Amino acid sequence: MDAELRTRFQEDGAVLVKNCLDAEQLAACREAFDWAVANPGPAAFQIFDGTVHQTHNDNSNPKAKERLDALVATLPLGKILAELWGSENAWYFAEEVFLKAGGKTGPSPWHQDTSYLPWAGHHWGNAWISFEPLPQKNALGVVRGSCHGPRYDGTTFMNPDDPTEPLHGAYADPPLPRLPDVEANRDAFDIVSYASEPGDVLFLHPGSLHGGAPVDADCPDRHTLVLRFFGDDAVFNPLPDSPFTRHGFLFQKETGHLKAGEPYRSPVFQKVY
């Protein structure tokens, strides 16, 4: 592992690893992606239908779990993340599926995954696997070093006119700071983003502020499979008390017993390194 790459991941919260997956691994990922789109799970949603922000998204589809557990066992992603983190172990969490097509979908709202999921610690990583070449302006953006900063309130993802509309809002106890509007003030933020080719993988810490990645005439379609992992320093960090569960919306049964600060572990998460 390149020492500079490790430093960049640990300080910035995002790095691109070139030529990370070979053609066979990439084809297996694409097959899993296409299956996921054809077989959406209970968390699948289409946001901003009929607007320029329209996106198809899916998350931790239980019907896909067996095939994705088998897939990640054949991929080097857990090992790479363990080396980026400096962790002895790596576990696979679950997938996300992102599809933008048609060349007219605007930027996705900026957010931290940790506003929705009860996670803290340094050893978290999302592997962004995109199947098209992406110019830098169409790539996911990450605010450099924001994984070390505050946990902001999430966006509801429901208001195309207000991409920072608070998820927990006044219900949160204690309250979370409102998201900054990164997209409207891009020049005020130090944004990391990388042009990439199929086979390259973007690794980011899910506590980073990330978003953007519009599609346009230069990059009309973006199909991205995200595989999420964690390592030794991954702890349970409950969401604020609110009408939303403190344990987040995924794997509630498996992680519902965890208390604040306990290692984030469950037999449901496959060890991959």
Which residues of the chain form contacts with Fe ion (CB under 5 A)?
Answer: 113
**Residue 96 or 200 with smaller CB distance to Fe ion:** 96
Nearest to residue 168, comparing CAs of 260, 180, 252, 177? Answer: 177
Q: Are 33 and 198 in contact (CB under 8 A)?
A: no
**Residue 89 or 244 with smaller CB distance to Fe ion:** 244
Give me the least distance between CB of 208 and Fe ion, in Å please.
9
Q: What CA–CA distance (Å, rounded) separates 196 from 5?
A: 16
Q: Which amino acid is at 259?
A: K
Give me the least distance between CB of 224 and Fe ion, in Å please.
11
**Looking at beta carbons, which residue is closest to Fe ion?**
113
**Residue 113 or 183 with smaller CB distance to Fe ion:** 113
Q: Are 25 and 104 in contact (CB under 8 A)?
A: no
**Residue 28 or 186 with smaller CB distance to Fe ion:** 186
Give me the least distance between CB of 94 and Fe ion, in Å please.
13
Nearest to residue 77, comparing CAs of 140, 132, 128? Answer: 128
Examine residue 40 and say whether the peptide bond preceding it is cis (omega within 30 degrees of 0): no
**Residue 196 or 224 with smaller CB distance to Fe ion:** 224
Q: Are 139 and 202 in contact (CB under 8 A)?
A: yes
Give me the least distance between CB of 150 and Fe ion, in Å please.
17
Give me the least distance between CB of 173 and Fe ion, in Å please.
24
